[in-house]
Amino acid sequence: MTDGWTIDAALAERIGVLAQDRASGVRMKGNILTLVLDVGGLDPAARDALAASITQAGKDHPGVADVRIAMTAERAARPAIIAIGSGKGGVGKSTLAVNLAIALKRLGKRVGMVDADIYGPSLPRLLASEGVKPEAQGKRLIPVPNALGIPMLSMGHLANPGQAIAWRGPMVSSALGQLIDADWTGTDLLVIDLPPGTGDVQLTMIQRYKPVGAVIISTPQDLALIDAARAISFFDQAKVPVIGMVENMAGYVCPHCGGVSDPFGTGGAEASAAQLGLAFLGRVPLDIAVRIASDAGTPPAAQDGTAGQPFRAIAERVARWLDAQKTGAPIG
């Protein structure tokens, strides 16, 4: 709700809670409350129930004699959102996000990506579309196409490369809105690469653009896992289901001697997932091929080689979870 409130704050808040971000132009004309309700994507029963609850809330409020609601269905349904999060930086969120998106596409999902890392965007590099500016139709951005077939929008496209972005919370939130409310025609699923931690972007994300689920990634050592637990509790509190945990950078095969070492330990994320009652989605080894391919804009999940295999297995589990959400079937 962005229009200026000319009504009592308590009533405004009540309508905000009921309508989420569907109500606009909320005003009093004399003792009549008027508003516009975006009912796009709601079935008739849900639409009528929402209008009835807002009407009732209005009428229950002192000084309101009647409520008039104009319904519009302009907003196209947003794609379902999966958020990729971590407590710590540098644990492989962007790498996982890109490879998961590609592997999900290979499983037949219509996937797009949003780079919500406003201060440190990585996706233009990882999806080989640095320097490409998105076009706009009216006020809506058109996602940038790329050779990997994953339409994508990133703050990296809106800012100049190398330019420091020093924005305060509200600007960050409105920039994120532009990326998510873009023209995602043809996309059913948006994989969102979050910045590390639980700041403004994450809050806006869960409050305004509620993801259907979150994937949490961590390296295996205790310090990273403590932060991962914090990210998990953040999503829990917001009632965003955590699809499961991924352990990254576990097990390093020395390219010289072939010996296996565990620079960050191993199995920590799996044990944490079990402790927290979460699904463990898979382990990605520390593999030079992952870094080289990712930096070159040819993420390993796009190829059939072994480096992409862990990402493909994780994507299969995520796809099963998504399909189970739709049918209500238990997740195997």
Ligand X SMILES: Nc1ncnc2c1ncn2[C@@H]1O[C@H](COP(=O)(O)OP(=O)(O)OP(=O)(O)O)[C@@H](O)[C@H]1O
Please work out the total of residues on this chain that contact ligand X, with binding judged by CB under 6 A.
Answer: 21
Residue nearest to Mg ion (CB): 94
Check residue 146 for interaction with Mg ion (CB under 5 A).
no
Map residues 47-86 to x or -, x wherever contact with ligand X holds by CB under 6 A.
---------------------------------------x
Comparing CB distances to Mg ion, the nearer of 122 and 266 is 122
Which positions from 52 to 91 touch Mg ion by CB under 5 A, shown as an x/- string?
----------------------------------------
Q: Which tokens belong to 167? A: 């924005």
User: Rounded to whole angstroms, how far apart are CA atoms 75 and 211?
Assistant: 18
Does 99 sit near ligand X (CB under 6 A)? no
Residues 86, 94, 198, 221: which binds Mg ion (CB under 5 A)? 94
Q: Is the Cβ of residue 33 or residue 205 nearer to Mg ion in the bound state?
A: 205
Q: How far apart, in whole angstroms, are the C-alpha atoms of residue 76 and residue 79?
A: 9
- Asked if residue 248 binds ligand X (CB under 6 A), the reply is yes
Site stretch for Mg ion (CB under 5 A), options 44-52, 114-122, 200-208, 293-301: 114-122
Asked if 231 interacts with ligand X (CB under 6 A), we say no
Classify each residue of 253-284 as buried b or exposed e, where b means 16 or more C-beta atoms within 10 Å of its C-beta: eeeeeeeeebebbbebbbebbeeeebbbbbbb
One character per residue 117-146, x = contact with ligand X (rule: CB under 6 A): x--x-x------------------------
Could you say which of 25, 89, 263, 305 contacts ligand X (CB under 6 A)? 89
b/e burial code for range 146-183 (CB count within 10 A of at least 16 → b): bebebbbbbbbbbbeeeeebeeeeeebbebbebbbbbb
Residue 294 sits in the site that holds Mg ion (CB under 5 A): no
SS3 per-residue string spanning 24-92: EEEEEECCEEEEEEECCCCCHHHHHHHHHHHHHHHHCCCCCCEEEEEEECCCCCCCEEEEEECCCCCCC
In the complex, least distance from residue 176 CB atom to ligand X, rounded to whole angstroms:
15
Q: Which span (20-28, 89-97, 275-283, 315-323) binds ligand X, by CB under 6 A? A: 89-97
- Please say which residue, 94 or 187, places its beta carbon nearer to Mg ion: 94
- Rule CB under 5 A: is residue 122 a binding residue for Mg ion? yes
259-262, Cβ contacts within 8 angstroms, sequence gap of 24 or more: 262/220
x/- letters, 290..309, toward ligand X (CB under 6 A): xx--xx--------------
- Residues near 276 by Cβ (< 8 Å), separated by ≥ 6? 229, 232
**CA torsion, ordered 90, 94, 99, 105, to nearest 10 deg:** 160
Is residue 197 within 8 Å of 243, Cβ to Cβ? no
Q: What is the binding site for ligand X (CB under 6 A)?
A: 86, 89-95, 117, 120, 122, 196, 248-249, 284, 286-287, 290-291, 294-295
